[in-house]
Structure 1
Amino acid sequence: MYRKGITPCRVGLTIFGVDLFPSYDVIDPSSPTAQKLAQHIEAVKQTETGWDRFKTIFQRDDYGNLSPEMDGALSAGTAGLVIGLLLGGLPASKKGYEEFILRNKATSFENHFQAKDKLQFNVTKTMAAGGWRVGWRLGLFTGAYTFFTSAVATYRNQNTVFEYSAGGLLAGAMYKFPMGPKAMVAGGLGGAVLGTAAGAISVGVMKLTGTTTEELRYLRHGWKEAKTRELITESPRRAEAMGILALAHDHSLAQNKSSINEATQTKSEESTNEDVEKAEKKS
């Protein structure tokens, strides 16, 4: 339910004022948390420089977490590595299988188990080599592209196609660095073309949704800090839940203690009865 007089903030896809993909995550702009976050953002905007924003990429927050930009670059690099392993490994395994069959048509094995073992080893080795050959390159390029794009956008605090083109240029040049200056130029141009295409799509989506890089950057930092703070601090609901769990735990301990006491008492009574019977027999 919306409170009267308050316009909720939505995060969704809106084109020409038409809410195509609405988000039901409503943010109350009059809440103390939202107001403090807005005041903090405005104060930081007025005082910080491009170099100050760039340095925050390499800084950890009060809870030891990486910055959203660095975390995004590492996530992109990891995703590129995994996708590259699949793209390079699957075709390589098929090729290794076919080559093994061709090479060993006239080879005699002791039994079919030995042939299957050698085939499996050859296919696995070929798949690992082919997957790594493509995976580390794709992971390096995607991670570097994401990092350079975020770094340029953070420094300029703007959202244009230029940031993506510059990120692709730097990533492509770094990717071809071991091959010499000519390869760096070719790689940089290729990366710039890919970055420009990706930038046009990203900027177009942001225009459609009505968001900017500045808003996303500050909100990502604010949301990450708020999420971390919520996880490590006790809220009333968390305290209530922990209270219920603690009560259940104490009740379980009490039941176990009662069972142990009853068992101990029963054993002591049995031993006492045995002593009495022995004494009566002796008398």
Structure 2
Amino acid sequence: MVFSSISSTEQVTWQWREGQGFSYLQCRLLEEFPHGFFTRHFGDYSLDELTQILTPDATAYRTKQVHGKQVVSPSQIMAAKTEFLEADGLGSDGRNQALWVASADCTPALIADVKTQQVAAVHAGWRGTALSILPCAIAQFLDQNSQLSDLRVALGPAISGEVYQVGLDVAAQVGRSLFPEEANLSSDEILKQLWESDVSPLIQDPDPAKVRLDVRCVNRLQLEKMGFHPEQIAIAPHCTYQESEHFFSYRRSREKAVQWSGIVSTA
């Protein structure tokens, strides 16, 4: 099984670990931070129970994910008057904080600063990617005195480009995020540039009105346009749609279920 935009080097960057009798995935880029990408087998566990596997002393935080670009802090969650704050990203602002994201084919992204020890967890589906949620999260790090060269990003298991069929309009919406300085480009012009790029996030589909879209590739290209070096980014060589033994996939089953995909914690 070969996934577009994922190199053999990236495949050895990821390792399976054991917790509560099941496996979860870790990325070597974040090896100094308690973190993991969990599988469907952990679906019956609470966030507090899962947090105990990696950081027993940490408090778990989550949001109500709405496919937007809002990134909030645990302090904002604590101050909110609603049960769950609507946001698709969490950025740390203290110690012993475990930040969670859930996904069901969307990309769970974990970010860490190796110098300041700040972390973030981001839910980046196609809509959030079109809104540049990852660059928004990175901007918050930079606003808090992080240096771009100190940041590490792990893009966890998600639906791979080779099986993610979307309409041309969706591909153009997502692709537009790579050309923020060219607001007047038409959808056709955006798609043309994506096809002609050195690393294209598009794959041909038998239906001429459709295309296969590699959302994680777009996430990576967004970061590289910000100045990230490729070695600061890792993409998990796993597809939620194709690996039913490990991952829940909404597109595969059309079933609404919880898969607590990513956690990263501060010390």
Relative to the length of structure 1, the TM-score reads 0.25
More strand by share: 2
TM-score, normalised with respect to structure 2: 0.26
Greater helix share, structure number? 1
